[in-house]
Structure 1
Amino acid sequence: MSGIPHRLRWAVEQLDVQPKDRVLEIGGGRGVAAALVCELLTDGRLVGLDRSESAVKGATARNAGYVADGRARFVLGTLEGADLASEGPFDKVFAVNVNLFWTRDPAHELDLIRGALAPEGTLRLFYEPPPAGQLGSLGARVAATLAANGYAAETTTDPTETVLCVAARKAA
């Protein structure tokens, strides 16, 4: 696992991936975190969604073995235009450094995710802001956005206090 950024290793640890989980990664880039997730799956499946064609090609190449055995599939597209309901339900949905959840109103995207989550499914958003001192304010902002859109959220940070996780479930 050397050479893999700490934020990605910690994020996958926080997901607590189980062998049969169905996982959605939003904005997964070239598939580094996807590879870590797929190592933990046996009968489960990961869907990686990214708006960059080169990222999807890179993720598919990096994870060719997992794609071949049906544990991974990488899709070109935006979250707002994705048909998540046909891919789900997902036990776990996650994104690392995907800013749409705090830079604009993500109501539509959060509604899509909520519709694709399994009843006990979780959404986890991870951020590593350049000045780590912003973790608290960013966490509060993202948690408030999630709460306003029908989620119960809580924030945690990694032991180095440089990576934020906002974990959420559908509100009761």
Structure 2
Amino acid sequence: MTVPAVPHRLRWAVKSLALRPADRVLEIGCGRGVAAALVCEAVTEGAYVGLDRSATAVAAARERVSGHVASGRAEFVHASLADARLSGAPPFDTVFAVNVNLFWTRDPGPELALIKGVLVPQGTLWLCYEPPSGERLRELAERLTAALTAHGFTAAPVVDPAAGLLGVSGRPAHIGEGG
């Protein structure tokens, strides 16, 4: 069986996370586990949790990184972010999502509140996108930055126009930081 190539957007997104070996990482919309495999390679002492609404995708993701699942360093949850019940879990250093539209197609306030509640105080949220048209990069950057700051996060967009990629990092804003 031939293993498909890892899409550039996923390599770029995971590299942008600047993961440390002991980090705890949550991926929203983990799909079939392609980014999970990259994260598990970087987070050798930490843990990874992947969420997805598709049972088929979660099953494929578990299979893709079965060794990490068996060791207890990776787990997958078949649920939406709203239904995942993450409040009792240890907090995450990094939460990320790639091409998850809920953050810019509507008010993501409820989801951002959930994320803020599961991040360590200096944790980072990364939202990465590869829009079908590179012309939308600036528009998406503006929308995502506005959404994050409106809901208590700092926001810093990173645009790679040559690759047609956008990443917006956010951290929970503390008093005096705006937001």
TM-score, scaled relative to structure 2: 0.93
| CA apart distance, 1:161 | 4.1
**Percent of matched pairs sharing the same residue:** 56
Is 1:24 equivalent to 2:52 in the alignment?
no
Q: How does 1:8-157 map to 2 (within 5 A)?
A: 8-157=10-159
Q: Which moved more, 1:81-90 or 1:7-16?
A: 81-90
- Residue pair 2:134, 2:161 contacting (<8 A) in 1 also: no
Give the Cα–Cα distance (whole angstroms) in 2 for the partners of residues 4 and 42 of structure 1: 20
| CA apart distance, 1:84 | 1.9
| CA apart distance, 1:14 | 0.4
Give the Cα–Cα distance (whole angstroms) in 1 for the partners of residues 89 and 166 of structure 2: 27
- Say which SS state the counterpart of residue 55 (structure 1) adopts: helix
Give the Cα–Cα distance (whole angstroms) in 2 for the partners of residues 31 and 126 of structure 1: 16
Alignment-mate amino acid for residue 129 of structure 1: P
Unmatched tracts of structure 2, length 5 or more: 175-179
Regions of 4+ moved over 6 Å? none
Number of aligned positions between the proteins:
172
Alignment-mate amino acid for residue 79 of structure 1: L
- Say which SS state the counterpart of residue 9 (structure 1) adopts: helix
Give the Cα–Cα distance (whole angstroms) in 2 for the partners of residues 143 and 167 of structure 1: 9
C-alpha root-mean-square deviation of aligned residues, in Å? 1.3
- Residue pair 2:156, 2:168 contacting (<8 A) in 1 also: yes
TM-score, scaled relative to structure 1: 0.96
